[in-house]
Structure 1
Amino acid sequence: MSERAQKPHADEVESEAESETRTEPEGESHVEPVETGADAVVAALKNAGVETLFGVQGGAIMPVYDALYSETDMNHITMAHEQGAAHAADAYGIVTGDPGVCMATSGPGATNLVTGLADANMDSDPVIALTGQVPTNFVGNDAFQETDTIGVTSPITKHNIFSDSPHDVGDDVGTAWALAKEGRQGPTLVDLPKDTTQNETDAEPGEPTTPDTYNPPEEADAGIVEAAAECLAEADRPVILAGGGVIKGEASDELRAFAMEYEIPVITTMPAIGAFPEEHDLSLEWAGMHGTGYANMAITMTDAMFAIGTRFDDRLTGGVDSFAPDAEVIHCDIDAAEISKNVEADYPLLGDAAAVIEQMDAAMPGAPDVAEWREQCDEWKEQYPMEYDMPEDRPLKPQYIVEQFDEATPDGDTIVTTGVGQHQMWACQYWMFSEPRTWVSSHGLGTMGYGLPSAIGAKIAAPDKEVVCFDGDGSFLMTSQELSVAVRENLDITVVVLNNEAVGMVRQWQDGFYEGRRMASEYPWIPQFDKLAEAYGARGWRLEDYDNVEETIEEAIEYDGPSVVDVIIDPAENVYPMVPSGGDNGLFALNEDHLEEI
């Protein structure tokens, strides 16, 4: 080796030193010029203010990942499975209100996103998916890892784009991001052929904007608002039914002010949990199949319902014919397709939730006389309390575990995520929510396995908040590999597995409606989840009795990193109240015997 090769020349050292001191002015970041379609994709994400991406690398998406290599303003979280990436992005969008971003390669990478996109679509959650695709000249030839991603995802996305030009791809990504966020939120997808992202372009993408033809409504028709306000003011038994659109539309403050000014009882749907503080006297909590008895009674007896941002799904309504049978329905929604789709609206208010609530407030001729009605609602609270027996000779009660975690964490400042099943119901029944964007769950699609990856997304979205994930043993088994991500990223999340060695909700339905034939719902063997957690590098605890519940919960929450508490609960415990599928909300069962009588 020559001396020159071993030691830089003095002139070179001086040149390098000068180069190192030539920094960008303070407060400004260096913007790399767009040279390829992949650069344009990254530039579009930066224009949108994206800071975090969730994904899994692969061949067809590799050019975009390569463009991210030197990017310092965005943090990429490599997930264990693409479904986990979609759920994490979904939760990120729920907590922040801005679209979460997930990435995957073509073929199986894209199809593995499908469950998460379908979930986001059902719940109107803002997500943008970027999927790799085979080069355009290979499309349709059954190339390696080719799938018609646009065809597969068209029914489950708000909008998707096959981006076949490197000059347009940046703006395509910006459009997808804007559409995911504006109006009725939802998932969008951009399919990125490899030649689109590899080919040269100098086309800088603009700011993310929706198409000129996309004009979501703002304020509702003034005449209908005036008539609706008069109806509500003259009602004897009014209720406000707040749906997930209240939170999506950043209308929680307006909802609270309106309800408190006119002293109208508030019921939420499951997606709207946290939109109104559940400890407030006006709160009847949430209604539907496993909602509170007092919420379902109020829905059954109301004579005027102001429904905001809800699609009246079957888990809320039960039988549509018996839903709020005496009520005049005022339905506010930003999506015209939802109004009178399931429940006929007497006063259709097409518009933004916050704007329409303010319109209603301005139009109210006075407050309704609700003194007797509120007394009746309070009587129902006393008649159908959310109580449970806790005999010492029985295994741990899941309701008690949820309550203890609630007591041990900061009020209103803890995010709860769940999988789907009995544990999900217990979590939203026995945790008292007071703030929006603190309840993160799968509602319309009912996706088991949602809990852990969504906890990852939620924690990254809100690193200063406590995140507790309630999962079931069946749900946890579906995505437990994402623990590797939580450990790698050192995320301080607490996973509580309410373990009854069964797919509990299926088992409950088999007992209630299939004469106890428990086919494929019970596990003859499952792993010890505390030990599984330790194998991943997380901390694990196991709870089997009441003696050390509080101590274990405190240790798990205080542990700085991912922890799993395997809670062995009473396998016979079921979720009540319960309205049988398609049933009358006012005819809810409080126990097994009552269910048989309905």
Structure 2
Amino acid sequence: MSERASVSREDEQDEQPVETGAESVAKALENAGVEHLFGVQGGAIMPVYDALYEHENITNITMAHEQGAAHAADAYGIVTGKPGVCLATSGPGATNLITGIADANMDSDPLLALTGQVPTNFVGNDAFQETDTIGITQPITKNNIFAENPDTVGDDIGTAWALANTGRQGPTLVDLPKDVTQGETDSQPGAPQTPDTYDPPERADDVAVQAAAETLANAERPTILAGGGVIKAEASDELRQFAREYEIPVVTTMPGTGSFPETDPLSLGIAGMHGTGYGNLAVSNCDVLLGIGTRFDDRLTGDVETFAPDAELVHVDIDPAEISKNIEADYPLVGDAAAVIEQLYETMPRPPNSDEWVEQCETWKEEYPLDYEMPEDEPLKPQYIVERFDDVTPEDTIVAAGVGQHQMWAWQYWTWTQPRTWVTSHGLGTMGYAVPAAIGAKIAAPDQEVVAFDGDGSFLMTAQGLSVAVRENLDLTIVVLNNEAVGMVRQWQDGFYEGRRMASEYPWIPEFDKLAEAFGAQGLRVEEYENVEDTIAEAREYDGPSVIDAIIDPGENVYPMVPSGGDNAQFALNEQHLEDI
């Protein structure tokens, strides 16, 4: 088609009148700039899909399972910063989205879910494939809407998209009864906009900022804790400028990974249960902690009574409900992270006198490095595989991960330098996240390399997503760190349940390289150190999805480790340390 013909057709599409509620839905998605959808067809959502047939600028990715659709859309939102969109039919289609919606809600990821519903006059009658989608999703969405009228359904979509994208991001849902989407209308939906009553704060109170800045300037042991809110607010540049100007060490949470480059001398890596020893020591010994965009969850804090015990807390968050929810804030700064960091930057009267503190942090980095042993008589270590991938891939490579030991090894042993490159399930801890997330990430950023680290247990939950990666010819690599167990459960059983390995090990497991080949992907297998680099090269050179079945040491554990509810300053570096705590 010529460029002129293409433009003409687009103009005709723009001018085409809306005739049904479903067409209004499609038009509203177009108005929002939506380019990709992730979904599974079905009876109640079919009118929407039918309307999308004429919208060639919106590409649908048909997923293998609705949970995968939600995770793919979630990852799309993480990488782009704008809501990913997933679709499902009523009943089981909608309920299969629940895990992904709950995951996005815990991590404040922008997501719009569209669910089909039985006709309005059937609602409440236990009709075929009916479920109370609004009632089920109300606790796990930022907002949900039951569409009631073909004339307003398009604006319902616009409202939901805008709410998912504005302020503290999160998932929204619109439930679409079939009579509403099939109903007649000539009402054209407008551009997405939030309700007039929704007014999230941008700048923090100037008096509070002044007091916080004075406290930071007077600190002798200041530390910044950068959370996921830094990345959500596109505030990584402001964070880097502020930390470097005032020479304040930076620790990141798991969702905040990449907001501050780990190659910077001021970086202390990651904090929490499996954070670096030096990062946890910095948080535990600082006298002023500047927490930005973090909700201070239990996997970060351990025992709240021992978390940053000597520190005055400056807490920056766009959601006032997070202030003092878990850790009492001495200086609450409610506002957008980028705007508030800029306020602090401009208000700081002087840099803190923290040279000795920075030197102490450097000493801790030397004393407690992330490290692992590679005895010749033991199987392949997973950390080595992560490091070798990190060595050969570009800095902007996107890393997806499921949940478990493999997730922690990927988090610990990758060198993070850029935001929106770490795509995983944080708060909900959803196994099976990696494969659909890698798909969503690759669709979102086709020019960036995508590597997914998964565990054998996690991979078995959503391996059917390989069919989508093959069908869409997505050039990505999935590395299954295979220890024939649900490894993190096994580690906890060994550490806290006297080694009773109940339901955590697999007596039999598929050969994942052959399974990949059955799906049409490239399947590879590696068991020896001498083959790791060649296997990685082969996977990366392949034009399409590759799966590496990496047979790793089944006894390898994740360290450092702070026992659940423990003191972050009392971290274990090995099994003996764990027994002594």
TM-score between both structures, scaled by the size of structure 1 = 0.96
* Contact residue 95 and residue 438 of structure 1 kept, 8 A: yes
Deviates more, 1:25-34 or 1:197-206: 25-34
Q: CA deviation at 1:164?
A: 1.1
Aligned equivalent of 2:98: 114
**2:257 paired residue number:** 273
Alignment correspondent of 2:459 = 476
1:250-289 aligned at under 5 Å gives the runs 250-289=234-273
Of 211, 216, 230 in structure 2, the residue corresponding to residue 232 of structure 1 is 216
- The correspondence of residues 327-476 of structure 1 with structure 2, limited to 5 A, is 327-410=311-394, 412-476=395-459
1:529 maps to which residue? 512
Residue 202 of structure 2 is matched in structure 1 by 218
Distance in 1 between the 2:64 and 2:12 partners?
32
Please say if 1:62 is aligned against 2:46.
Answer: yes
Aligned residues: 577
What is the deviation of 1:369? 1.1
Which amino acid in the other structure matches residue 479 of structure 1? T
Distance in 2 between residues matched to 1:206 and 1:70, nearest whole Å: 19
Distance 1:59 1:228 in 2: 56
Which of 160, 164, 184 pairs up with 1:180? Answer: 164
The answer to whether the 8 Å contact 1:289/1:580 transfers is yes
1: CA distance, partners of 2:6 / 2:553: 63
Choose the corresponding residue for 1:578, options 541, 547, 561.
561
Q: Distance in 2 between matches of 1:41 and 1:297?
A: 52
Q: Equivalents in 2 of 1:104, 1:24: separation in Å?
A: 32
One of 95, 106, 110 as aligned partner of 1:126: 110
Secondary structure in structure 2 of the residue aligned to 1:30: helix
CA drift of 1:413 comes to 1.2
Find runs of 4+ consecutive structure 1 residues off by over 3 angstroms. Answer: 21-29
1:596 lines up with 2:579 in the alignment: yes
Aligned partner (choices 67, 75, 89) of residue 73 of structure 2: 89
Distance, in Å, in 1 between the alignment partners of 2:17 and 2:504 is 56
Q: CA deviation at 1:33?
A: 1.4
Q: Distance in 2 between matches of 1:42 and 1:318?
A: 46
SS in 2 for 1:270: coil
Letter in 2 for 1:160: N
Alignment of 1:29-68 (within 5 A): 30-31=13-14, 32-68=16-52
In the TM superposition, what is the alpha-carbon distance from 1:546 to its structure 2 partner?
1.1
SS in 1 for 2:73: helix
Give 1:543 shift.
0.4
Match of 1:502 among 485, 502, 515: 485
Alpha-carbon distance, 1:24 to partner: 5.3
Distance in 2 between the 1:344 and 1:170 partners? 42
Name the CA distance, whole Å, in 2 between partners of 1:255 and 1:416.
22
* Residue correspondence of structure 1 range 149-188 to structure 2 within 5 A: 149-188=133-172
AA aligned opposite 2:572: A
Shift of 1:184: 0.2
Equivalent-residue separation in structure 2 for 1:116 and 1:85 (angstroms): 8
Residue deviations 1:58-99, cap 9 Å, x none?
A: 000000000011210100000000000000000000000000
Shift of 1:293: 0.2
Unpaired segments ≥5 residues, structure 1: 1-20
Distance 1:29 1:220, change over 3 A: farther
Distance 1:205 1:433 in 2: 42
Check whether the contact 1:53–1:89 (CA below 8 A) recurs between aligned residues. Answer: yes
Match in the other structure for 2:296: 312
Contact 1:24 1:30 (C-alpha < 8 Å) held by counterparts: no
Equivalent residue letter for 1:70:
E
What does 1:493-572 align with in structure 2 at a 5 Å threshold?
A: 493-572=476-555
Please give the residue correspondences for 1:91-106 in structure 2 after superposition, counting only pairs within 5 Å: 91-106=75-90
Q: Does 1:80 align with 2:64?
A: yes
Deviations 1:312-370 (A, max 9, x none): 00000000000000000000000000000000000000000000000001110000011
Matched residue SS, 2:255: helix
Determine what percentage of the aligned residue pairs are the same residue. 75
Matched letter for residue 585 of structure 1? N
How much is the aligned-residue C-alpha RMSD, in angstroms? Answer: 1.0
1:25 Cα deviation from its structure 2 partner: 4.4
SS of structure 1 residue aligned to 2:13: coil
CA distance in 1, matches of 2:553, 2:5: 66
Q: CA deviation at 1:134?
A: 0.2
Partners of 1:282 and 1:439 lie apart in 2 by 20
AA at the equivalent of 2:148: D
Distance of 2:548 and 2:5 partners within structure 1:
52
CA distance in 1 between partners of 2:220 and 2:454 (Å): 42
Question: Could you tell me which residue of structure 2 aligns to residue 8 of structure 1?
Answer: none
Aligned equivalents of 1:482, 1:33: Cα separation in 2: 37
Q: In structure 1, what is the Cα distance between the partners aligned to 2:9 and 2:118?
A: 42
Q: Distance in 2 between matches of 1:178 and 1:381?
A: 43
Aligned to 1:7: none
Distance 1:508 1:534 in 2: 31
| Structure 1 residues 35 and 474: alpha-carbon distance in aligned structure 2, compared to 1, 3 A threshold | same
SS in 2 for 1:496: strand
Higher Cα Rg: structure 1 or 2? 1
Aligned to 2:185: 201
DSSP 3-state at the match of 2:258: coil
Name the counterpart of 1:139. Answer: 123
CA distance in structure 1 between the partners assigned to 2:572 and 2:117 by the alignment: 51
Q: What are structure 2's unaligned runs of at least 5 residues?
A: none
**Structure 1 counterpart of 2:132:** 148
Q: CA deviation at 1:510?
A: 0.2
The aligned amino acid for 1:207 is A
Instruction: Tell me the CA shift for residue 593 of structure 1.
Output: 0.5
Q: What is the CA-CA distance between 1:30 and the residue it aligns to?
A: 2.6
Instruction: Give the TM-score normalised by structure 2.
Output: 0.98
Q: Distance in 2 between matches of 1:457 and 1:28?
A: 29
Deviation at 1:23, TM superposition (A): 7.4
